[in-house]
Chain A
Amino acid sequence: MSGDAIRARDLTKIYGQLSAVDHLNFTVRSGSVFGLLGPNGAGKTTIIKLLTGLSEITAGEATVAGFDVRRDPMQVKRRIGWVAAEVILDDDFTAWENLWLQAKLQRVSAWKPRAEQLLAYFDLTDRRKDKVGTFSTGMRKKLEIALALLHEPEIVFMDEPTIGLDPSTRHMLWELIAGVNREFGITVLLTTHYIEEADALCDQIAIIDRGKFVATGTPAELKARVQSDFIEIETTELVDETRWRAIAGVTDVRTEGRSWILRTPSAQTTLPNVFAALRTDQIQRINIEAPSLETVFLDVTGKHLDAAGPEVHDFRKFYSTVRRARQ
């Protein structure tokens, strides 16, 4: 497959007065990994819902795998796979039965050889006859990706695929996701609020906040865009902004109450000037951010990624609650 796997023009979703997705224009190149990076509630999952036909587009248009999402949603669904944030499998069924059901839903008649290959690829062959309820979270994630690949989709949507996982399982999944893209030649659209995940996996990243893209590019392009350090300072008392701007080396100042973000070409050389300008008892907290996707987000939105949205759920607790409820 060549060309664009996904095209969106003025893609918009409005819930009541809220623009969850606000006139987005983007394309995803076939065979690439495209990342939507943003905090919870930024509109990432809504974009997936719009592109997969699960939610109605308010305005604009989108094509996925060459099909108009609104006109041919069934054709789109035949060509896409989906990996959820929370693992969604039939716990009472074996791995093989889950694959069988997915084959039925995707109308794949000769599914068994493909299923066996996928189980082997994901190192699950020995557990094929075991009920999924007995699997570890990592194994369940692997099986879910196998389900998504069973019908040889052109595009796989991964919605926060590693949320709530421990670091080793997360890194294992990163390798698998990169492998799925590289070895299976499948386009991946990934949403995440983990900066390191987007950096490690994505060819292209769109940083999204409140339904709008605030920056797009390759990870290298985005990082090059900032080329500044950020000094974050929380003060014990209100400080006049002109005092910050007067500090040598500070090129820009943002504030929210007693929290200040100073942009500077070099934190190392500017920091002594900051200390000279303030009394030590005026400084409550200080933090330095070197150029990274985090600083890109900080630069374009004026806030940290992990502080921008509602609190992240405790997904470990969530998983165990779901499992208990299913039993």
Chain B
Amino acid sequence: MSTENRLGTVLAPPATAADARVPQWSQFTGLYARELLRTFRNPWVLLITVVQPFMWLAFFGSSFSGASPAIVETLFHTNNYMAFLLPGVLSTSMLTVGMFGSMSTIQDKRFGFMKRILLTPTSRSTVYLSKALGSATRGLVQIPVMIIAALAFGVRFQGTPLMWAGWLLGLFFLGFGMCCFFLAVTSSSTDWQTPGVISNFITMPLMFASGALFPAANFPGWMQTIAAYNPVSYSALLGRGIVVNGVPDWTYLGYLGLFATLMLVGGTLVASRYLKIE
């Protein structure tokens, strides 16, 4: 079948039931690129992305600057507190990236753009995946900035490039898993406030009940239990092993990969059913 009009003749897609499964790659790449373009064209996003890591390290990193090296060594098992802190801060920042993906999705629903997308041959799971990956990518941008900031603060790192690549993959797994989780939880919401409320509810316990900022060995029992199942702990411990000691424990990477996979599968199922259009 073809259509002919003033703009020429174009073959229409074959009209068969076998063609019901429309490939999604083009739609996915378009929506993923849209996420990145919208994010990084915003000068405020860029500015905060660059400034925030410096602030983290300046404020948090300075909190033990007056302590004697012996106390730091006792508490953190290293006298390089900034190097101890860096993997934890990066893991913590990956916790919050999911919130931005959620807010972007809610914005698309409220302004009708979700309807525009879903009136094209684009599946809900494609929308979901592009949002999750877009948010995770946005989170990754902070990593090189943070590392440069740490170098600027005079931090010295251990580990080989391969170890660092493994750690970055772990951070990506953490961020992607959190994005999948956030998007699934907010898939049926159109309320601007929901992502912020959920973020506050989740981020705080996950951040402090982990080994990201303080050694979990000093936690009470119940917090140690949470930390034992907290993906933030594993991301921080993986990075700390590499950055501080140059000795990675790759089981943490496996755990983070499993976490991302579970969140992706569960989130896709939830979003494909409950993702609202408006």
Indicate whether A75 reaches chain B with its CB closer than 8 angstroms: yes
Contact of A92 among B4, B38, B119 (CB under 8 A): B38
Chain A residues numbered 57-83 whose CB sits less than 8 Å from any CB in chain B:
66-67, 71-72, 74-75, 77-80, 82
Contact of A186 among B5, B41, B115 (CB under 8 A): B5
The smallest C-beta distance from A14 to any residue of chain B, in angstroms, reads: 19
Interface centre among B13, B37, B119, B123 (most CB of A within 10 A): B119
Interface residues on A, range: 35 or more
Question: CA A186 – CA B34 in complex, angstroms?
Answer: 29
A134 cross-chain contacts in B, Cβ below 8 A:
none
A92 cross-chain contacts in B, Cβ below 8 A:
37-38, 41-42
Q: Is the CB of B1 within 8 A of A90?
A: no
B119 cross-chain contacts in A, Cβ below 8 A:
52, 54, 77, 80, 82
The smallest C-beta distance from B183 to any residue of chain A, in angstroms, reads: 19
The smallest C-beta distance from A120 to any residue of chain B, in angstroms, reads: 10
Contact with B along A245-267 (1 / 0, CB 8 A): 00000000000000000000000
Indicate whether A23 reaches chain B with its CB closer than 8 angstroms: no
Question: CA A50 – CA B26 in complex, angstroms?
Answer: 26
**Which of A101-109, A200-208, A288-296 forms contacts with chain B?**
A101-109
Question: CA A104 – CA B117 in complex, angstroms?
Answer: 10
B125 cross-chain contacts in A, Cβ below 8 A:
none
Contact with A along B1-42 (1 / 0, CB 8 A): 101111110101101010111110011011101100110011
A74 cross-chain contacts in B, Cβ below 8 A:
20-22, 121, 123
B112 cross-chain contacts in A, Cβ below 8 A:
84, 86, 88
Contact of A54 among B13, B118, B123 (CB under 8 A): B118
Decide: A54 near B34, CB < 8 A? Known: A75-B19, A82-B116. no
The smallest C-beta distance from B119 to any residue of chain A, in angstroms, reads: 5
Contact of A105 among B6, B20, B30 (CB under 8 A): B30
Instruction: Identify the closest chain A residue to B22 (Cβ).
Output: A74
A325 cross-chain contacts in B, Cβ below 8 A:
111
Q: Is the CB of B30 within 8 A of A152?
A: no
Interface residues on B, range: 35 or more
Q: Is the CB of B122 within 8 A of A88?
A: no
Indicate whether B277 reaches chain A with its CB closer than 8 angstroms: yes
Question: CA A75 – CA B120 in complex, angstroms?
Answer: 10
Indicate whether A117 reaches chain B with its CB closer than 8 angstroms: yes
B31 cross-chain contacts in A, Cβ below 8 A:
104-105
Q: Is the CB of B121 within 8 A of A106?
A: yes
Decide: A107 near B27, CB < 8 A? Known: A92-B41, A183-B6, A184-B7. yes
Instruction: Identify the closest chain B residue to A85 (Cβ).
Output: B112
B38 cross-chain contacts in A, Cβ below 8 A:
90, 92
Q: Is the CB of A184 within 8 A of B6?
A: yes
Q: Which residues of B contact A (CB under 8 A)?
A: 1, 3-8, 10, 12-13, 15, 17, 19-23, 26-27, 29-31, 33-34, 37-38, 41-42, 111-113, 115-123, 277
A183 cross-chain contacts in B, Cβ below 8 A:
5-6
Decide: A1 near B116, CB < 8 A? Known: A67-B15, A75-B15, A152-B10. no
A-B contacts, 26 listed (Cβ < 8 Å):
A54-B118, A72-B20, A74-B22, A74-B123, A75-B15, A75-B22, A75-B121, A78-B13, A78-B121, A80-B119, A82-B115, A84-B115, A88-B111, A88-B113, A93-B34, A93-B37, A97-B37, A100-B30, A102-B120, A105-B122, A106-B121, A114-B8, A117-B7, A154-B3, A184-B5, A325-B111
Q: Is the CB of A101 within 8 A of B115?
A: no
Indicate whether A322 reaches chain B with its CB closer than 8 angstroms: yes
B1 cross-chain contacts in A, Cβ below 8 A:
1
Decide: A114 near B15, CB < 8 A? Known: A90-B34, A107-B121. no
